[in-house]
Amino acid sequence: MRQAVVGLLAHVDAGKTTLAEAMLLEAGAIRRAGRVDDGEAHLDFDAMERERGITIFAAQGSLDHAGVHLDLVDAPGHVDFSAEAERTLAALDYALLVVGANDGVQSHTETLWDLLAERSVPAFVFVGKTDLPNPGCEALTAELRARLSDACLDGAALLAGDPAALEEAAATDEDALEEYLEAGSLSLGTLRRLVAERRVFPCFSGSALRGEGVRGLLDGICALVAERSWPEPFAARVWRVGRSGRGERLAWLKVTGGTLRAKERLEGFDGGAPWSEKVNELRVYQGSSHKVVGEVPAGRVCAATGLTRVVPGSALGAEPTAAAPRLAPVLSFQVLCDEGDRHAVVAALRELADEDPTLGVAWRPQLGELHVRLMGEVQKDVVARLLRERHGLEVGFGPGGVLYRETVTAAFEGVGHFEPLRHYAEARLLVEPLPRGSGVVYGSRCPEDDLARNWQRLILSCAMEREHPGTLAGFPLDDVRVTLVAGRAHPKHTEGGDFRQAAWRAIRQALMQARAAGAVELLEPWYRLRLSVPAERVGRAMSDLRRMSARLGAPEVAGGVAVVSGEVPASEVGEYALEVARYTGGRGTLSLAPAGYDACHDADDVVARAAYDPLADLDAPPGSVFCSHGAGHPVPWDEAGAMAHTEADPSRLTAWRPADAAFFSAG
């Protein structure tokens, strides 16, 4: 039996969960489709989901249709939970992108489409809610092809052998074109290959609530899913960590090689330290219910109990390391609680961070403050409720602030030396700028003849343990490559913690050099926006957005409606959606989606407000510690280089070459 894991993705209120219910009903997997509006959806079974009418946690269902087994993963659509939606991509063989006919392609739809392209996930498209007022089939098709891909083709026409549709599909691939010219058609195998290789994106339409077009969608997906072979060695990836109704920790896995068996012992690494744990139970979920199975073959998804050390993104067995997530919170909130509950709140939030690593729980002992990173107001309410229901803790939140980041605009080599009495370690690390959205990448170009490989791994592991504060305003470092270029250990006096100090100080010293050279840049989060207003209000809209320092394209006006697209700093948006509703009499809509980090539009003001003194930050000292006359003494950052025991090499301040790296990883 052919099989595939298909994820349903969409912007909020596009009808994604309703479609999932209709697909399960059509295939006979459930007896009755629940209504989202009535709080009865089969896949939205959490109380918060049913109250709000939105998907918050990814859920699994499965069906068999036309000789094909499909595991459906219903991912959240609300932008506040877009990180959860991104994590589900690790489990998918195909994606089903749902677009509401009444709303069209939204900014968040484009963000999801970009993520699918980055992860090379093949995609189908379903235009739902066709029973509601909409611009019509031709206009919707044109919008899909203009804003998503020219290869969005009518799936029903492809399967029916329509010459025009087949010709367009053939034009996307040289071998397919040759087949079409010779035979005048394309085989089903070729169509499956074109879909799997993301050359063609079959599109279907209908109304899931009325059951219209659902069978055609199922027939199309099952016909076009390609047969796939999986490697024999065991491999799996953790794509979600959650809790069962009884509080059990569940690790949701996609098995990508071999077979996973209950009671099997799995091994992995946590912060560089090896671990070994036994899988107690394997479960296959259908909404809120599940069945216990003895084994799960490659290509299927399941939930496992007994794994306490894995987090979303963990690779098991022969599975390679995953790429760093792209979507992350852009707001930071202070957590307010009774002083007596503070330690319990920290522990509870760190438990939640195991399930959602983007929370970024941070305790600031100097200020006595606890902070978390969140995507928005809805996620804030969900976190507060989880703390109350799971742990009996009542918390509030202070005003949210934008999460800025810092990067460098040129390469700098920093040295860190740590040599108090009977300790010794020295590291030289090169910090270089990377393109936007690259994150922080770590690697090594240090010859093993100069420093043993185990010491090199320790240095990089220590460097990756923390977010390194920038020297401009103390915000986290981003979009840089950190490369170990030299180091020195002592055969008797070097301990693991010594290289932690040396590595941290080396990065900090490089950043101090960048600050002195004026080569530190402040970054801020931006949103991709799409604003629809009555045509007579477009002048007001453009004026508002320019005042917010937005980067805009020319407005598109049709049918008395103007659509403005572009990007805007997250710090400027505020409650502008409410303002749009006011000045358009409720006829205007604002759609926002994360667009990553870019140069800060008011960097001088932000730096002035931060009033950050890098030399006063006791958690990130830039200087080194040298030993003299039997005692350690501090040396300022600008003098440490001259006293270092390894030599600086100006030739290293050149473009990094991947072939030179002994090993590297993204963080």
Pairing of strands 59-65, 68-74: antiparallel
Q: How confident is the model over 368-378, as a mean pLDDT?
A: 84
Token representation of residue 64 = 């068999």
Q: Nearest Cα to 419, choosing from 490, 327, 345, 348?
A: 490
Which tens digit of pLDDT belongs to each residue from 71-94?
A: 999 999 888 888 888 999 999 999
Which tens digit of pLDDT belongs to each residue from 412-459?
A: 999 999 999 889 999 999 999 999 988 899 989 888 888 998 899 899
Question: Are the C-beta atoms of residues 337 and 396 closer than 8 Å to each other?
Answer: yes
Which tens digit of pLDDT belongs to each residue from 158-214?
A: 999 999 999 999 999 999 999 999 999 999 999 999 999 999 999 999 999 999 999
Q: How confident is the model over 5-26, as a mean pLDDT?
A: 92
Round to whole Å and give the CA distance between 419 and 626. Answer: 5
Angle formed at CA 134 by CA 132 and CA 137, multiple of 5 degrees:
115
Residue 338's CB is within 10 A of a number of other CB atoms, namely 11
Round to whole Å and give the CA distance between 203 and 125. Answer: 5
Percent helix, strand and coil across the chain, each to the nearest 5: 30, 30, 35
Question: Are the C-beta atoms of residues 423 and 359 closer than 8 Å to each other?
Answer: no
Tell me how long the chain is. Answer: 667
Q: How confident is the model at residue 623 (pLDDT cuts 50, 70, 90)?
A: very high
Would residue 287 be called left, alpha or beta, if left means φ above 0 and alpha means ψ between -120 and 50 degrees? left
Q: How confident is the model over 637-650, as a mean pLDDT?
A: 87
Tell whether the model's pLDDT for residue 629 goes beyond 80.
no
3-state secondary structure 291-303: EEECEEECCCEEE
Write down the pLDDT at residue 235. 93
Q: How confident is the model at residue 631 (pLDDT cuts 50, 70, 90)?
A: confident
Q: Nearest Cα to 478, choosing from 623, 662, 648, 326?
A: 326
Pairing of strands 440-444, 412-418: unpaired
- Using a 10 angstrom Cβ sphere, with 0-12 exposed, 13-18 middle and 19 or more buried, the burial of residue 657 is exposed
Least confident of 164-178, 263-277, 300-314, 494-508: 263-277
Q: How confident is the model at residue 662 (pLDDT cuts 50, 70, 90)?
A: very low
Q: pTM of this prediction?
A: 0.81
Round to whole Å and give the CA distance between 521 and 442. Answer: 20
Least confident of 7-11, 208-212, 585-589: 585-589
Round to whole Å and give the CA distance between 94 and 559. Answer: 36
Q: How confident is the model over 660-665, as a mean pLDDT?
A: 44
DSSP string over 142-196? HHHHHHT-TTEEEHHHHHHT-HHHHHHHHTT-HHHHHHHHHHSS--HHHHHHHHH
Question: Are the C-beta atoms of residues 56 and 356 closer than 8 Å to each other?
Answer: no
Which tens digit of pLDDT belongs to each residue from 490-541?
A: 988 888 789 999 999 999 999 999 999 999 999 999 999 999 999 999 999 9
Round to whole Å and give the CA distance between 497 and 414. Answer: 19
Q: Which residue has the tokens 């269902």?
A: 61
Tell whether the model's pLDDT for residue 222 goes beyond 50.
yes
DSSP string over 418-479? E-STT--EEEEEEEEE--TT--EEEEE---TTTS-HHHHHHHHHHHTTSPPBPSSSSPBB-S
Query: What rounded mean pLDDT belongs to the chain?
Result: 89
Tell whether the model's pLDDT for residue 285 goes beyond 60.
yes
Tell whether the model's pLDDT for residue 154 goes beyond 50.
yes
Question: Are the C-beta atoms of residues 570 and 596 closer than 8 Å to each other?
Answer: no
